[in-house]
Amino acid sequence: MKKGNIIASLISIGIGICFIYLSKDFPKEVSNAPGPGFYPSFLGVILIILGVFLLIQNLIDKNKEDVSLALGSKKARFIYKVIGIVTLYAIVLPFIGFIATTFSFMIVMCYLMGLRSYKLLLIIPLGVTTVVFLIFNMVFKVPLPSQTLF
């Protein structure tokens, strides 16, 4: 946890610096009042101060019980798989269309969640894909992506 907090504080400081740097060329004053760059750079300064606070808090507090984040544990690896599948869905969707992507996504996800019955592995993805397609396409009139690759 402590290591993670230190990284988080450094990222906060980094974001703060980025926003200040990016707004340095914005007009300084508009109608005698602060221009568009003032507010983001002000927030950037606050973010840096907060980041430094968090950093010091974690560096000083040596007695704090350290909760392990277990980024490499079995549980965490399972989550990375889920993130990977969801990301893959977002990338593949425009190429092979909603129906094929969703159907395969459901099969893989159900299997990953521990479903092993072949019958259900076919029925659930088929049912969910059909229902979601009908609801979004027919009722909500959302133009779900169709395949473009073939």
- What residues make contact with another protein under the rule CB under 8 A? 1, 4-5, 8, 12, 15, 19, 22-23, 26-27, 29-40, 43-44, 46-47, 50-51, 53-54, 57, 69, 74-76, 78-79, 82-83, 86-87, 89-90, 93-94, 102, 105-106, 109-110, 113-115, 124, 128, 132, 136, 140-145
Task: Show the CA angle centred on residue 6, arms to residues 5 and 11, nearest 5°.
Answer: 95
Length of the chain, in residues = 150
Instruction: Pick between residue 16 and residue 62 the one whose CB is nearest to another protein.
Output: 16
* Sheet strands (E) in the chain: 29-30, 33-34
Provide the minimum distance between the beta carbon of 147 and another protein in the complex, in angstroms, as a whole number.
14
> Residue holding tokens 């893989």?
108
Backbone angles phi, psi at 63, to 5 degrees: -80, -15
Give least dist CB 138 to another protein, A. 11
**Closest approach of Cβ 61 to another protein, in Å?**
12
CA–CA separation, 141 and 98 (whole Å): 14
